Amino acid sequence: MLKRLARLAVNAYPRAWRDRYQVEMVKVLEGHKVSLATVIDLAIGVARAWFLWPHKGRWRAQMFVGVGSITFVCLFVFAGFQQSMRMGANQPQIQMTQHVTSMMTHGQSVNGFHTSHPIEIQQSLAPFLVIYNNQGAPVVSTGELYGRTPVIPMGVLAYAKQHGQDKLTWQPEQGVRIAAVVQYHANHGGGFVLAGRSLRVVEQGETSLLKMIEMAWLVLMGGLIAMVIALGRRRKSAKV
């Protein structure tokens, strides 16, 4: 497998390089004990040859590799930050479900969580709580969507009962997206505690992040084009 990857890496060098060194490099690999370090070393060699070796020729292939690498890195950075932001959005809800479950274990009655001023989920960014009985019927809710307790998607409570907890992105209405955490508890005959809050701020952050990544992508593309043009000029002047 590693030997095959190493052969593939040798094939990925620029054509002019392969014309000159491929046969002997393949011969060296035949006698060499190929490890992961060999493959990584060859991959670095490929990148160096494409970007730094002045005789590689075909600028289209250079551009293709450059555009692909920059796009991959930008997507990777975006996905990493987005995932981090999305996971961070669950933290207060996790704390809330654990806190409420603990209070109920210590004798707090479900009715103690009632509120006379429920949060309007479609407008507010505040976290809210819904407590369900063991049959999945809401008993208490501190949040309302247009005057009613939002209906949780089918299967969520069953999953939480089986695994102890479930984390989900929930869209009870068009334009209303909620980061929700559901915790199963065995107190008072069993039931579920759901804590949720609007994802509006997180999604605004994601949009800003996407714009920044797009800007970075454009700047890097500009840099790549400038580099390819500069290298092309250097090659031409070297030939003269």
Partner 1 sequence: MKSDIGRFSDPSFLILASLASGPKHGYAMMEDIQAFSGTLLEPGTLYGAINRLEERGFIRPLKVEERRRPYEITGAGFVLFQERVALFEKMAVIGKNRMELRGY
Is 45 a binder of partner 1 (CB under 8 A)?
yes
Q: 110 near 188, Cβ under 8 Å?
A: yes
Is the separation of the CB atoms in 196 and 143 below 8 Å?
Answer: yes
Residue type, 177: R
Binding part of the chain for partner 1, among 44-52, 119-127, 154-162, 165-173 by CB under 8 A, reads 44-52
Regarding 48 and contact with partner 1 (CB under 8 A), the answer is: yes
When binding is defined by CB under 8 A, the residue of 1, 37, 137, 238 that contacts partner 1 is 37
Q: How far apart are CA 21 and CA 206, in angstroms?
A: 47
Q: Does 17 bind partner 1 (CB under 8 A)?
A: yes
Tokens of 29: 């690999």
Q: Which two tokens stand for residue 125?
A: 């960014």
Judged by CB under 8 A, the stretch of 30-38, 91-99, 211-219, 225-233 that binds partner 1 is 30-38
4 lies in the binding site for partner 1 (CB under 8 A)? no
The encoded tokens of residue 66 equal 């450059």
Residue 15 binds to partner 1 (criterion: CB under 8 A): no
Residues in contact with partner 1, counted by CB under 8 A, come to a total of 26
Regarding 50 and contact with partner 1 (CB under 8 A), the answer is no
Tell me the residue type at 195: A
Name the residue with tokens 């199963």.
Answer: 184
What interhelical angle do 59-88 and 36-52 show, nearest 10?
A: 120
- The CA distance from 174 to 56, in Å, is 53
- Nearer to partner 1 (CB atom), residue 47 or residue 158: 47
21 in contact with partner 1 (CB under 8 A)? yes
Measured CA to CA, the distance from residue 240 to residue 216 in angstroms comes to 36
Q: Which stretch binds partner 1 (CB under 8 A): 47-55, 157-165, 218-226, 232-240?
A: 47-55
Q: How far is CA 172 from the centre of its chain?
A: 23
Name which position in 24, 137, 236, 240 contacts partner 1 (CB under 8 A).
Answer: 24
Compute the Cα dihedral for 64, 68, 74, 78 and give only its sign.
Answer: positive
Report, in Å, the least distance between residue 100 CB and partner 1.
Answer: 57
To partner 1, the closest distance from the beta carbon of 170 in angstroms equals 50
Identity at 142, one-letter amino acid code: T
Residue 43 is a binding residue for partner 1 (CB under 8 A): yes
To partner 1, the closest distance from the beta carbon of 222 in angstroms equals: 28
Contacting residues toward partner 1, per CB under 8 A? 6, 9-10, 17, 20-21, 23-29, 31-32, 37-38, 41-46, 48-49, 53
